[in-house]
Structure 1
Amino acid sequence: MLTLRKITLLLAFTLFGQRAIATETEVLFDTQRSRHIPVTITPIDSKCTAQKKCPVVFIGAGYGMAHTDYQFAQQVFHQHGYLTVEVAHELNGDPSLNPEPPYMTTRMENWHRGVETLVFLVNELKGRYPAYDFNQLTLFGHSNGGDIAALYAAIYPAKVSKVITLDHRRMLIPRNKNIAVLTLRGSDYPADDNVLLTQQELALYPVTQVTMAGSRHNDMYDGGPKVLVERMRKELDAFLSRY
């Protein structure tokens, strides 16, 4: 049986209109894996219904980052009518991220653990939030969080509508005409072979690859340079307006 331990209920304010938003910060417990999963969930104040469902996004952090370090993105998603679920994938006691290549092999255990967490959250939350669409997810992730998002889309392509990554570098971007992708690329580290699409592939799939000139991989979060954070915010806003 799945259980839930609720920690607190916060009032947050968006950057858009300064409205109060009920934000639930909780730890969910996956009994099958004996795993606690910290999440921050922000529903939207709208006319979402079981007949006309609003979209859902799962937000995953880069390795070593906090799952709440991407408020610039959370606020853009919220403005576009998304229920946002910020997920802590890495817990104390988890094995360290393997530093040895080939990463598609050595890091697969970590990514699969993240995918299993997302599957658990879908099953746990869809009953609690029936006015939101958990069958056509948007997945957002920075670095290793983006690798997890890309793997989920590879395993469950029919359950994903969009993937947005901030400089993930290991897992292949989905090549799927039904999944819109935005990947914002840092300029200090290259992606592994075949992660990004070729020009020929970009003509076939709804994938947008944007290199952020002068940006650093580790700066692509709320604490990065303001110019970079604002550029990422604008790119995300434009993408969600288009798809």
Structure 2
Amino acid sequence: MKRRAKRFYTILVGIFILTITAFASMSSEYEPVSTEIQIDTFEVLDSVRNRLIPYALYSPVTKKTPDSIRVVIFSHGYGSNYSRNYLNYSYLTKNLARAGFWTLSIQHELLGDPLIPKEGNMQVVRMPFWVRGEGNILFVLNDFKRKHPGLKISSVDLIGHSNGGDMSVLTAKDHPELIRKVITLDHLRMPVPITLKPQFSSLRSTDKVADSLVIPSAEDCLKYGIHIVQLKHVTHNEMNDEGSRKQKKQINQYIQKILEDRF
């Protein structure tokens, strides 16, 4: 009996250790690399458009210059010209930097800009705002390259929330040779191109529905590797820093899985 009891407890302890190890590996799979990050802010003048463009760079602190880097360009949702909107998604941009991505977050709206139209054919009346955002994205990417001539960029990915997602989709559509992946957080207006490259993904909220033909069919998504993720318990306006810790973690996990080809 004593041998059986001893054997039983030995097996039980073994199962317990394996279970703890499994849970640890599951959690670590989705956690960012524990890296110190640096945040720098800039205001650069696009002389061609005579437009000032503020942006923030979230980057991992490294002891030596890396052989190559991965760049993410983030575009915020519409904020009625609120001047610090580009800093309002820090849960996401900081997480990306800790995971090793050099993340550029752009301020797309300035005081004095015309407000975005809320009536009419949205794909028509809002196109000038997306085109302006596309210009901002391309200019900031070139400004980053100019400031860091010694860094080799291995990939450029775009992430955008709502209106920022619309302009990200437009940018990738017009410049597929520059962009590896696009992830939108509940963009509503700009149709996702039916293409293999760049790869498109979209995280969807529980309270908004995209316009007709914005989201590809299930068949096209399967054929072209487009990921449409229906989030649970996350509304459209909870995708910035106002969301709960649980909501932010859910969004970050999906983003990291997509960027690292683990989806």
Q: Same fold (TM over 0.5)?
A: yes
Amino acid at match of 1:27: E
SS of the residue 1:203 aligns to:
helix
Structure with more strand by fraction: 1
In structure 1, C-alpha distance between the alignment counterparts of 2:35 and 2:137, rounded to whole Å: 30
CA distance in 2, matches of 1:201, 1:48: 41
Does the 8 Å contact 1:48/1:132 carry over to 2? no
Alignment partner, residue 176 of structure 2: 157
1:17 corresponds in structure 2 to 34
Shift of 1:48: 5.1
The CA distance in 1 between the partners of 2:213 and 2:65, in whole Å, is 39
| The 10-residue stretch of structure 1 (153-162 or 40-49) with the greater mean CA deviation from structure 2 | 40-49
> Does 2:262 align with 1:235?
no
1:69 aligns with 2:84: no
**Distance of 2:166 and 2:188 partners within structure 1:** 7
Partner Cα distance (2:140, 2:129) in 1:
17
**How many equivalent pairs are there?**
225
Identity %: 30
| Structure 2 unaligned residues grouped into runs of 5+ | 1-31
Q: Is the 8 A contact 1:61 1:143 kept in 2?
A: yes
Counting only pairs closer than 5 Å after superposition, residues 15-164 of structure 1 correspond to structure 2 as 17=34, 19=36, 21-46=37-62, 49=66, 52-64=67-79, 66-130=85-149, 131-133=151-153, 136-164=155-183
Task: Give a deviation string over 1:83-106, Cα, whole Å, max 9, x none.
Answer: 111100011111111111311101
TM-score, normalisation: structure 1: 0.86
- 1:26 deviates by 1.4
Q: CA RMSD in A?
A: 1.9
* TM-score, with structure 2 as normaliser: 0.80
1:196 aligns with one of 215, 226, 243: 215
| Unpaired stretches in structure 1, ≥5 consecutive residues | 1-14
Contact 1:27 / 1:36 at 8 angstroms: preserved in 2? yes
Moved over 6 A (4+): none
| Aligned-partner residue type, residue 186 of structure 1 | S
The alpha carbon displacement at 1:80 in A equals: 3.1
